[in-house]
Chains A and B, each alone.
Chain A
Amino acid sequence: MQELLNYQPVLLQGAWLTVQVALLSLLLAITLGLLGALAKTSQSRILQIIATLYTTIIRGIPDLILMLLIFFGGQMLINSLSYSINESINEYFTSYDINHEWYSYLPDYIDISPYFAGIVTIGFIFGAYMAETFRGAILSVDKGQIEAATAYGMSRSKIFIRVTFPQMMRHALPGIGNNWLVLLKTTALVSIIGLQDMVKIAGDASGSTQQPFTFYLAVAFIFLFFTAISSALLKRLEAKYSIQAR
């Protein structure tokens, strides 16, 4: 117990990092989800296909694999890309001037930070799930309303901002809530790509104190605390918006 108290400030820092990662990736997920849902319900065949590919492929691959793929694979890909761009630029100059010296026009080594990789991956994954939620929500908005808006001469973007969006969010709220609860738990995976979140800190602490059970259990309880708060907030939000519906 004493060890737990000693580590309390670090553990709380880790918890704060977890919240940051979760909130930022939620923001990205909602943005991607809205774009995906709009693409899926659009008239354009190409957009539909791209969005369907996105949601299908992402939902077929485990989040951990995607994270490793983006963090390790993406890093290699970017670096080899920037190297080959450097090389071709240098070759181009050498062909004009033999004395041209090699110069890195793009940085030779780009380091993807685990913080960035974690947020991008989680946002990217949950964007696919959000897209499905939003698609259902868009479809559940009364057609008559959109026709009425068209009759009023609103442009398509105006219809979306004024009519579709406010109404679909009410339908989407339970889905967003569920996705948020899953997303929150997924953030534990960022510890694997080296981010100092509370799971990683608990791991380090249990290494030096020989009390892994205590520390991991504490982390589990912090997660339970977050889940409980989120559920309570979501319940209130849903109650609030359903009253306004009628």
Chain B
Amino acid sequence: MDFSIIINEYQFYLDGLWTTTWLVTLSLLLGLCIAIPAGILRCSENKFIRFPIWAFMYFFRGSPLLVQLFIIYYGAAQFEWLRESWLWEYFQEAWFCALLAFTLNTGAYTAEIVRGVISTMPKGELEAAKAYGMSQWQTLRRITLPNSLRRALPAYSNEVIFMIHGSAIAGIVTIVDITGAARVVNARYYAPFEAYLAAAGLYMCLTFSVIFAFKQWEKRYCVEQ
């Protein structure tokens, strides 16, 4: 066991950490932008709105993220029209495909959280707000959103962890994230144990800091309650 390799190549791992961080953060933010409208529309009365949203969520929640990434990264090249359009500039980049796959995936999972929170919203609180004469917008801002956020937070923190762990497959499609860095170091020195152990340590630090941050956030919300 020779961990001096890791110390020599720490720059790789730092770059990897940075790539993982921005890739996951951006996917989560974009995913949230998809998830909130999707989660609300999923509860719609109209069948023609509800069904496509259901299909989107079912597909991305029911199949592995790896396969979704491969469909986008390798699959895009199958279409002649895509290769000739301006979009190809993006679809030939691994980071774009990973970002797209991660965003759609986390969007579907988060939409399910949004749906769950909306459908279990306590009716009494909404009725009370109405009785107080609040407008719909006021009810949304003062009652629905804070209440939903509080109830969605534990599930969402799980989703964030899931995304950090899921993003490890980005290293498979040539992106130098933490996994990618470990693969490069392993290829150079043939030291799989050291290389992957260092990556595992980094992921663990990342995971536990996120869990800690969410715990603090949840605590603050409970005090306000």
Interface residue ranges, A against B (CB under 8 Å): 57, 59-66, 68-69, 72-73, 75-77, 185-189, 191-192, 199, 202-203, 206, 210-214, 216-217, 219-221, 223-224, 227-228
Contacts and interface: CB of A to CB of B under 8 A. Distances in A.
A73 B59 contact: no
A199 B196 contact: no
B200 interface: yes
Contacts of A72: 186, 192-193, 196
5 nearest A-B pairs in the assembled complex, by CB-CB distance: A213-B75, A72-B192, A73-B193, A188-B64, A62-B168
A178 B166 CA distance: 17
Contact of B70 (A66, A185, A186, A199): A199
Contacts of A213: 71, 74-76, 78-79
A221 B67 CA distance: 10
A244 B193 CA distance: 50
Nearest to A182: B162
Given A60-B203, A212-B74, A224 B192 contact: no
A65 B66 contact: no
Contact of B78 (A60, A64, A65, A214): A214
B165 A63 contact: yes
B168 A69 contact: no
Contacts of B78: 210-214
A210 B80 CA distance: 12
A65 B182 contact: yes
Nearest to A191: B66
A188 B67 contact: yes
Interface of B: 58-59, 62-68, 70-71, 74-79, 161, 164-169, 171-172, 179, 182, 186, 192-193, 196-197, 199-200, 203-204, 207-208
Contacts of A211: 78
Main secondary structure of the interface of A (DSSP, over half): helix
Contacts of A210: 78
A65 B59 contact: no
27 contacts: A60-B204, A62-B165, A62-B203, A63-B165, A68-B179, A69-B192, A69-B196, A69-B200, A72-B193, A72-B196, A73-B197, A75-B192, A186-B64, A188-B66, A189-B169, A191-B66, A192-B172, A203-B70, A212-B74, A212-B78, A213-B74, A213-B78, A214-B78, A216-B71, A216-B75, A217-B71, A228-B62
B77 A212 contact: yes
Nearest to B186: A72
A50 B99 CA distance: 38
Contacts of B70: 199, 202-203, 212, 216
A216 B200 contact: no
A228 B203 CA distance: 32
A160 B117 CA distance: 37
Contact of B197 (A69, A206, A217): A69
A228 B63 CA distance: 11
A224 B63 contact: yes
B193 A76 contact: yes
B183 to A, nearest CB: 8
B28 to A, nearest CB: 16
Contacts of B168: 62-65
B126 to A, nearest CB: 28
Contact of A220 (B63, B166, B197, B204): B63
Nearest to B206: A60
